[in-house]
Structures are given as structure tokens and as C-alpha cells.
């Protein structure tokens, strides 16, 4: 008897996996990298012995001098404010509580070029590590204060410098922000509390100066050890997109000078700014024709002074080493370390792989920075690429790339992303709120924080948009949404808990917030990514109505979801 032949199971229908859309990665798109300009600058640099001979050597401690000279002029021009501002100027908005540029408030913070204030670095992240090597000591520096939500990849840099949470009390402290930026009241209370605890545990009141007591490091005559470090991104912040108001900038510098704190400012997005308006932000589509009305022009100068400009204007503080009465003015100024360092980078302007940045500070601080041991031994960071960047500055190619390529592209991408968010996430039933995207308004004062309404012109910049959901709305936590987005839609987003300060998460939680980057993906994918996200949230809300409970609210180790720690190379 012939046994019955078994029938093969029906073939499963294969479903094509969707193209991945990554709204988490904070990189510039490949199409926006200035390869041609870099090639031209490289050819010029490597064809001239006067350039390539010093460029291929170790270089002076502060960095390649022609770049420092060109950069000092470039930065001074960008951060020089006319007096008074002209309301009709395309680069200057009329007064608001964010800029207060009447009564000459900004022009007093302009400074002439001075290469002595600059050092060339290997980029903003390497620069922070060098600052911590030279100007902090875990035995003497009491705390590191980070504006929250924070650029989370800065946390490991501070941890590596000895400020990790060891279980005996975190050294990284979160400081929340409101619509104007950092919460100065919260910060001041925290500074006073930590100082009180420190002095009580030491059993004595410290007398004047800084660096008293025993520490691990000898700052020598060229550096000092600060009691506190404050880390922030004042303009178009990563991740919130917010811009700190002038009043908050001035107040933060005053607090730093009162408590012997060093403010480390990542000023990496300042040159990427553009004008927009509510019409552009809600009507732009990927199919908009070239005949559409042109978007508003972009400012070509900074709208607000940097914190370092404010600090330089104020001069020496009581924590600077005293100078003798016989000191000349130049030697006296050499004792002024200041309380702010501006940390800049060409990564967002010419490409992250260029690995070249700068710091600007007082000349004394800059000299101390240049004496970091690894710099003195290994030579000036990015010496060869510094020659290439200097050629791009001298030729005008860098400015042309910023004004002709980067700002128009980011202006349009930002408008597309915000329009999609307004349509898919802000509109009922989800009711999300977009934070920070109109924090620097160009007319009619400060924009309403609600849904887009009357025509308002505002300034935005950087790479990121921050979105918040009402925790009581029934919408699941952002981490759970991110996991489902990756699993079901091949979409990566930045859940808010990723941007909590390591070791002090409880002080500022963001479990119902998300960060979106508009710099990496193409225009159509930005819109489709938001549409995919809305579909996932809609499905999860319906499941919640059936009694499902979302348990992964704590974030954990990331679990391979929309931005766990294992995906660090995708973030930035």
C-alpha cells in the first residue's frame, strides 16, 4: 500500500521590508557635504610649500596660525552687532525678550579679532575632553551641570573625566529649561546646595580663590581648576531646538562668575540659521514647484551674543589670580581666565570627517588650553585639515557653501518636517506640541506656543525638532513607540529618555518626548517618516483602549529599539 504523500505547506507570502528611515541620526546628508570645495582647497594647500610644510609637521600648540588669524576675523564679523539695530535690516529682528537689541544691549558685546583668544581643536567633542583634562579635577570640581534635555553623548565625556555616577551621589546634575532656556533659579539653588554640602563635608569654609585643598592635578601657572562646570548649547540646542534668550545668557554668566563655574558652550549651530514663517512651516510640500514664492531671506550675522562675548565684556572676576601692582596691563590680562569657553566646530559646516574645530575664550584660558599634555606632545590637533579649512575660509568657498547650500536646504527640510508634524501629530486626536521651533521670533514679540495661527516670522536653525505628548493623553511612552516604530515600520526616532542626564534622570524626565533630525534624510523620507510614526501611535492607542499596558517606560538598555545605547553610531 502506497502511503499518502504529504502536501508541502503553502509558501508564505514574502513581504518586502520597508526602506529604513532614520530620524534619529544627527548627521548632515551626504548630498550636503562640500566635496568639491574641499578637493579644491586641498589641492591649493598641498601645492604650496609655504602651506603644506607646516601643515604636515606637528604645528604650534594653539594650532595652525593662518587659520587662527582667519577664524578670528570671520567670527568677529559674524558676532559684531551694529549700534543700534535697524529694524529693517534683514539680519536683525526688532526687540523682543529674546534679543533685547534696543538700547545698545548687544553692541557692547562685540569684540575685535584676536587670534590669542583661539585654539584649534580636533572638533567639539575632543575639545570638551581637553577642557576637562586641563581645567577640572574630580577631587576639587564639585559638579557638572547639564541643561536638560541634554546632548546625551556629552555625558560619557564627563564620566570619563571622573564625574560618573558611582552610586555615592551623581556628579552630573540636570538643569531643566523653559521657553527662554536654562532655569537659572533651579541652577542657583543647586549650586548653593552643592557648595553647602561640599563645605560641610570638608568641615571648613573655603577661603577665596579656587583649587584650594588637595587635588589630583597641578594646574601650574597657566591654568586653574574650576569649582563647577555648566554645559549647554545656547543656540538651536541639541536636542530641544531652543535658543537661550539674552537675559538668560547674561544671567548664566553672572551665576558662573559668582560660583566659580566654567560654562562650556557648544556653539556649533550658530551659523546655521534661517528665517521662516508660519505659512512656510505649514504649507511646504515635497512637490512644491520652483515657481513658489521664495522663502524669507536668512540672517548672515548672529542675532544674539555668545556667552563668551558677555564674559569677555565683564573682564576679570574675583576668582582670577590677583595681579601685582607692578604688573603691566598685558601681564595683568594674562591672569584673567574667564568663566566661559565657546566650543566651535566645522563638523556641521564642512563635514564631521574634517575633524577640526576651535575654542574661543580669554587669552589666558586659550594658552592654558594649548598646554594640555596630549596637545603639547602630539602637536596641534587637525594640523593638516586646518590648512584646508583655512583655504576654504580665504577663498570664500565655506561661506558660499553655508549660504548657498546648507541654509536653503535645512530651511526647506525643517519646514517640511514641521508641516508633517503639524498635520500628523499636532492635529487631533494626538495633540502633540512642537517645542522650541519658534523660540527666536523676528517680529510681534514672542510667538504663541499653541497651534500655528496668525502669520509670524521667526528664526530657527540647527538640526533638530523636539515634540512633546501629554502624559495624560493615553499615548504610550516614547521608548515603547520607538521600539514599535523600528519593528513595524523600520523607522528610527529619538525617544526622550535618551536625552536625560545620566545619573540624574529624576530631575528632568522626558518619557513622552521625541527628537527628530531633519539634516540626514531626504525631503520625501522626512514626511514619510512622520506618517509612519503617526500610524504606529494610532495602532498603539487603539491597543491601549483594549487594556494593553506599556511596561518599558523606563528605557532600560534600549533593547535594540529606536535609539538604544547600542546604536550610538546612528545618533550624534
> pLDDT tens digits for 69-92?
999 999 999 999 864 333 333 344
Lowest average pLDDT, out of 111-120, 156-165, 197-206, 447-456, goes to 447-456
User: Is pLDDT above 90 for 240?
Assistant: yes
User: Is pLDDT above 70 for 206?
Assistant: no
Order of all β-strands in the sheet with 357-360: 118-121, 357-360, 340-345, 261-266, 228-232, 143-148, 172-178, 181-182
What's the pLDDT at 295? 65
What's the pLDDT at 449? 32
> Which phi and psi angles does 266 have, rounded to 5°?
-80, 95
pTM check: above 0.75: yes
Q: Where are the beta strands (DSSP E) in 427-519?
A: 433-435, 440-441, 457-461, 464-468, 491-492, 494-495, 513-517
User: Is pLDDT above 50 for 93?
Assistant: no
What's the pLDDT at 25? 98
> pLDDT tens digits for 333-347?
457 999 999 999 999
Q: Please give the DSSP secondary-structure letter assigned to residue 23.
A: S
What's the pLDDT at 558? 31
What's the pLDDT at 85? 32
Rg (CA), the chain: 25
What's the pLDDT at 387? 98
> pLDDT tens digits for 277-335?
656 656 666 665 444 555 667 889 998 999 999 999 999 999 987 764 444 444 444 57
What's the pLDDT at 14? 53
> pLDDT tens digits for 371-383?
999 998 988 899 9
How large is the angle between the packed helices 363-370 and 124-135, nearest 10 degrees?
90
What structural domains does the chain harbor? 21-29+399-570 (3.90.1150.10), 51-81+113-197+211-273+306-322+329-395 (3.40.640.10)
Three-state secondary structure call for residue 253: helix
What's the pLDDT at 523? 96
Is residue 261 within a helix (H) or strand (E), and if so which, with residue range? Answer: strand 261-266
What's the pLDDT at 456? 62
Distances (CA, A) of 435 to 16, 53, 203, 270: 36, 49, 45, 19
Residue 251 pLDDT class (50, 70, 90 cuts): very high
Q: What does the pLDDT average to over 485-498? A: 98
- Cα separation, 38 vs 281, in Å, equals 33
Check: CB of residue 107 under 8 Å from CB of residue 135: no
Check: CB of residue 172 under 8 Å from CB of residue 163: yes
Three-state secondary structure call for residue 70: helix
- Estimate to the nearest angstrom the gap between the alpha carbon of 99 and the chain centroid: 19
Lowest average pLDDT, out of 152-156, 374-378, 521-525, goes to 374-378
- Cα separation, 127 vs 130, in Å, equals 5
Beta-ladder partners of 275: 459
Q: Where are the beta strands (DSSP E) in 60-196?
A: 118-121, 143-148, 172-178, 181-182
User: Is pLDDT above 70 for 454?
Assistant: no
Please give the mean pLDDT across all residues of the chain. Answer: 85
Amino acid at each position: 500500500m502506497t502511503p499518502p504523500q504529504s502536501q508541502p505547506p503553502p509558501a508564505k507570502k514574502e513581504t518586502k521590508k520597508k526602506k529604513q528611515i532614520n530620524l534619529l541620526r544627527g548627521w548632515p546628508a551626504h548630498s550636503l557635504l562640500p566635496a568639491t570645495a574641499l578637493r579644491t582647497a586641498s589641492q591649493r594647500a598641498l601645492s604650496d610649500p609655504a602651506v603644506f610644510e607646516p601643515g604636515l609637521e606637528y604645528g604650534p600648540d594653539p594650532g595652525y596660525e593662518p587659520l587662527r588669524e582667519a577664524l578670528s576675523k570671520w567670527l568677529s564679523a559674524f558676532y559684531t552687532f551694529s549700534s543700534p539695530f535697524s529694524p529693517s535690516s534683514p539680519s536683525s529682528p526688532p526687540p523682543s525678550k529674546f534679543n533685547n537689541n534696543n538700547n545698545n544691549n548687544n553692541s557692547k558685546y562685540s569684540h575685535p579679532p584676536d587670534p590669542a583668544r583661539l585654539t584649534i581643536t580636533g572638533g567639539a567633542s575632543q575639545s570638551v575632553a581637553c577642557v576637562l583634562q586641563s581645567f577640572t579635577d574630580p577631587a576639587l570640581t564639585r559638579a557638572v551641570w547639564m541643561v536638560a534635555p541634554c546632548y546625551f553623548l556629552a555625558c560619557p565625556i564627563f564620566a570619563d573625566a571622573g564625574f560618573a555616577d558611582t552610586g555615592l551621589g551623581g556628579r552630573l546634575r540636570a538643569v531643566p529649561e523653559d521657553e527662554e532656556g536654562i532655569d537659572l533659579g533651579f541652577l542657583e539653588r543647586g549650586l548653593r546646595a552643592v557648595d553647602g554640602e561640599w563645605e560641610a563635608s570638608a568641615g571648613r569654609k573655603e577661603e577665596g580663590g579656587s583649587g584650594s585643598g588637595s587635588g589630583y592635578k597641578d594646574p601650574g601657572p597657566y591654568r586653574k581648576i574650576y569649582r563647577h562646570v555648566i554645559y549647554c548649547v545656547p543656540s538651536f540646542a541639541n536636542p530641544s531646538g531652543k535658543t537661550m534668550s539674552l537675559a538668560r545668557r547674561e544671567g548664566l554668566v553672572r551665576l558662573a562668575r559668582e560660583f566659580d563655574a566654567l560654562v562650556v558652550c557648544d556653539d556649533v549651530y550658530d551659523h546655521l540659521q534661517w528665517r521662516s514663517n508660519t505659512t512656510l512651516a505649514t504649507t511646504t510640500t515635497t512637490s512644491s514647484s520652483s515657481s513658489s514664492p521664495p522663502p524669507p531671506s536668512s540672517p548672515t550675522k548672529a542675532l544674539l551674543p555668545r556667552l563668551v562675548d558677555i564674559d569677555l565684556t565683564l573682564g576679570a572676576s574675583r576668582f582670577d589670580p590677583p595681579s601685582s601692582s607692578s604688573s603691566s596691563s598685558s601681564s595683568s590680562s594674562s591672569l584673567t581666565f574667564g568663566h566661559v569657553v565657546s566650543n566651535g566646530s566645522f563638523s556641521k559646516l564642512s563635514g564631521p570627517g574634517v575633524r577640526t574645530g576651535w575654542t574661543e575664550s580669554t587669552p589666558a584660558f586659550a594658552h592654558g588650553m594649548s598646554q594640555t599634555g596630549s596637545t603639547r606632545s602630539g602637536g596641534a590637533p587637525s594640523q593638516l585639515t586646518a590648512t584646508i579649512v583655512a583655504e576654504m575660509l580665504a577663498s570664500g568657498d565655506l561661506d558660499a557653501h553655508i549660504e548657498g547650500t546648507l541654509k536653503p536646504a535645512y530651511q526647506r527640510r525643517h519646514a517640511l518636517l514641521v508641516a508633517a508634524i503639524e498635520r500628523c501629530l499636532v492635529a487631533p486626536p494626538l495633540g502633540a506640541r512642537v517645542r522650541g521651533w519658534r523660540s527666536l521670533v523676528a517680529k510681534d514679540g514672542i510667538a504663541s506656543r499653541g497651534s500655528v495661527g496668525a502669520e509670524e516670522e521667526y528664526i530657527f536653525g540647527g538640526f533638530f525638532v523636539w515634540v512633546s505628548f501629554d502624559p495624560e493623553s493615553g499615548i504610550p511612552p516614547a521608548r515603547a513607540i520607538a521600539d514599535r516604530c523600528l519593528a513595524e515600520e523600520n523607522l528610527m526616532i529619538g525617544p526622550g529618555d535618551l536625552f536625560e542626564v545620566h545619573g540624574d534622570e529624576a530631575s528632568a524626565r522626558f518619557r513622552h518626548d521625541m527628537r527628530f533630525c531633519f539634516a540626514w534624510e531626504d525631503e520625501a523620507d522626512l514626511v514619510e517618516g512622520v506618517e509612519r510614526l503617526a500610524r504606529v501611535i494610532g495602532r498603539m492607542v487603539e491597543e491601549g483602549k483594549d487594556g494593553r499596558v506599556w511596561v518599558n517606560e523606563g528605557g532600560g538598555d534600549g533593547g535594540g529599539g529606536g535609539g538604544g545605547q547600542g546604536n550610538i553610531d546612528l545618533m550624534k
